[in-house]
Amino acid sequence: VMLTLARLEKDRGDLTRSLALVQQSVEIIEHLRTSVVSQDLRASFLASKQAHYELQIDILMALHESQPDKGHAAEALRVSEQARARSLLEILQEGGADIRQGAPPDLLERERLLRAEVGERELQRLKVRSDQEATPERLDEAQKRLDESLEAYREIQERLLESSPRYAALTQPRPLEVAKIQAGVLDGGALLLEYALGTERSYLWAVTPASVESFPLPARDRIEGLASRYYGLLTARNQPDKTRERLTRMDTETEQVSAELSAMLLGPVRHLLKDQPLLVVSDGALQYIPFSALPVPGTTTLLIQKHAVVNLPSASALAVLREEILNRPAAPLTLAVLADPVFQKDDDRLARLPRPGDVADRSSTSRGMKTGLGAERESEADLESFLRLWHSAREADEIVSLLPADQTFRAVGFDASRATALSGRLAEYRNVHFATHGLVRSDHPGLSSLVLSLYEEKGEPVDGFLRLNDIYNLELRADLVVLSACRTALGKEIRGEGLIGLTRGFMYAGASRVLATLWSVDDRATADFMKHFYRAMLNGKLSPAEAVRQAQLVMMARPNRKAPYFWAGFSLQGEWK
């Protein structure tokens, strides 16, 4: 009701009254939200109330137009922060508090058993999908059993939170105001670009350590339509038709659309683009866009040629992330790598015999699933969906060779297993690298996973899926986690919350930053990129953000890697320094 009244007052021109009404409605929403224990339900609840925050931003920006010196634009940015990634802020805080400590042992054991049951039933569902003779009834029954376990697991997680004395003692993390963003996030001279997409108008805030500027942008539909078109063009090489004529046409169109998108998103801040790092807080379909591949407005110079680009779920999330790892003891060792798992029962490492066709297959694999399953159909994957990533072993060897042997851990083949990942050993390393397939489950984000070895050395099948629910239970001290797999930067999109996927799981587990991918990238190109990245970071002593930039510049300078498809999909999220 208050939202309707606020809109009526806005339409009548009484912005002050309209603002008071919508602020009151937001206060009620914030109060109700804190009474919900489940993070999933909190995120869904906030998503259903985004219109309230959107209207509050609209009113504040309208007031800013008539009263530019009253701080309304800065307040609108605070509301933008308040409306996004709130569940992420809270789980980061929970991770630092170790909310399991003090919880009843019987609940902890029940949670462990249910987490294992979810894994077993998801594996059984995949086995049924792999059976060509499986009836629809068997498929439905496997899905039903999985859904029952997922619901039971969700309920036990809520009971754990309700019973945890440490969780009860937590205070709600507050989104940052502008002054704290400038002092606590942009220290070092970065430029923050925060986007909020709206039904009638969208907005961009550009924040430096000394200034805040705001700009109106077109409506959500127009921006997202162009962004989706751009993403489709960038990933055209993942389509079956790879004729030179088609790819040349797609590359030409990509340049045209990227220039149009750049003018729309970056044109207002062209005067602020110097050589500083760019921190991008996206919204909606913009979360799928590699800003590094956009040109500086009105030029052919790409952003990556002038700026290191880092993505943030919100500015407040980085502040909480920094707070939670403050004074954390550094991990003693440098690099752990898990690569080239065994996926198929006919893998030559099981048979110990080379097989015809292996060499021919080595250059054609991407770090996604078999051709035919698109991003929207990953729930239809089965155990036959994952092909060997031949170049991931070379990737592991090349990056491990950059360091003394006593500073590295290399788990390849059968050793690149879920058991290895969960053993606790990874907590000893400052950099953790996974080179494998990724599986993004938008229908059930908790089942999104990194696919590790599906067979043990004697040929027995094992559960090789390192699921998001497993990742939340890791305890890492990692400055960097690299997910050298397909689409690991993506996940289920929830309005106001962003993408729920593997990246936030690793941040919860203790990673300061995560390097992930926006689309399925060619296996060989990925290995090449990682070689250049680690050389720049480990030998060149560059920050991860600058090392990503340097590796992308090396890749795009090569004629056969010039297209953004080969290098722009690598996205660094989290700490930028």
Question: Of 194 and 93, which is predicted with more confidence?
Answer: 194
Edge-to-edge strands of the sheet including 408-412? 212-217, 202-207, 191-196, 278-281, 309-312, 570-574, 513-517, 480-484, 429-435, 333-339, 408-412
Give percent above pLDDT 70 in the chain: 90
Q: Are residues 410 and 484 in the same domain?
A: yes
**Tokens read off for 346:** 């006919």
Q: How many domains does the chain have?
A: 4
Query: For residue 62, what are the contacts with CB-CB under 8 A and spacing of at least 6?
Result: 10, 15
* Residue 458 to residue 544: CA distance in whole angstroms: 39
CB 315 within 8 A of CB 205: no
User: Considering the domain boundaries, does residue 87 fall inside one?
Assistant: no
Identify the pLDDT of residue 312. Answer: 93
Q: What is the DSSP string of 278-315?
A: EEEE--GGGGG--GGGSBPTTSS-BGGGT--EEEES-H
Q: Would residue 90 count as lying in a domain?
A: no
Same domain, yes or no, for 336 and 306? no
Instruction: Report residue 21 as tokens.
Output: 């009404």
What φ, ψ does residue 467 adopt, rounded to 5°? -85, 165
pLDDT digits (tens, 9 = 90+) for 155-212: 888 887 777 665 555 455 678 889 999 998 998 789 999 999 999 999 999 999 999 9
Query: Are 452 and 377 found together in one domain?
Result: yes
- 358: confidence class by pLDDT, cuts 50, 70, 90: very low
Are residues 375 and 475 located together in one domain of the fold? Answer: yes
pLDDT at 359 over 60: no
Beta bridge partners of 236: none
Query: Does residue 498 carry a pLDDT above 80?
Result: no
Q: Is residue 118 pLDDT above 60, yes or no? A: yes
Examine the pLDDT at 372 and tell me if it is beyond 60.
Answer: no
Residues 376, 520 within the same domain: yes
Residue 243: pLDDT band with limits 50, 70, 90: confident
The domain boundary residue, chosen from 286, 317, 348: 317
Query: What would the two tokens of residue 218 be?
Result: 């077109």
Report the mean per-residue pLDDT for the chain: 88
Residue 78 lies in a domain: no
Q: What are the tens digits of pLDDT across the range 422-479?
A: 999 999 999 999 999 988 888 888 888 999 999 999 899 999 999 998 998 899 999 9
Are 426 and 557 found together in one domain? yes
Digit-coded pLDDT (tens) for 296-351: 999 999 999 999 999 999 999 898 888 888 888 999 999 999 999 999 988 989 86
Spatial neighbors of 544 by CB under 8 A, at least 6 apart, are 479, 480, 513, 515, 537, 572
Structural domain includes residue 89: no
Furthest C-alpha separation in the chain: 78
Q: Is residue 227 part of a domain?
A: yes
- Which DSSP string do the residues of 383-437 spell out, in sequence order? TTS----HHHHHHHHHHHTTS-GGGEEEEEGGGSSHHHHHSSGGGGEEEEEEESE
Residues 365 and 474 in one domain: yes
Q: What's the mean pLDDT in 17-40?
A: 85
**Domain end residue (candidates: 151, 169, 187):** 169
Q: Are strands 480-484 and 513-517 parallel, antiparallel or unpaired?
A: parallel
Among 345, 353, 378, 389, residue whose Cα is nearest residue 449 = 378
Give the model's confidence band at 379: pLDDT under 50 very low, under 70 low, under 90 confident, else very high.
low
Show the tokens assigned to 192. 């923050």
- How confident is the model at residue 368, as a pLDDT? 55
Which of 55-59, 166-170, 524-528 has the highest mean predicted lDDT (pLDDT)? 55-59
Asked if residues 285 and 224 have their Cβ atoms less than 8 Å apart, the reply is yes
Tell me if 369 sits within 8 A of 381, measured CB to CB: yes
- How are beta strands 491-494 and 202-207 bridged, if at all? unpaired
The answer to whether 138 touches 128, Cβ cutoff 8 Å, is: yes
Which residue range is the domain that position 568 belongs to?
Answer: 329-574
- Decide which of 285, 317, 349 is a domain's last residue: 317
Q: What is the pLDDT of residues 245-275, one digit of tens each?
A: 888 899 999 999 999 999 999 999 999 999 9
The verdict on residue 81 lying in a domain is: no
Output the pLDDT for position 360.
Answer: 39
CA dist 454 and 452 (Å) reads: 6
In a domain, residue 146? The reply is yes
Q: Are both 230 and 304 inside the same structural domain?
A: yes
State whether 297 and 230 are in the same domain: yes
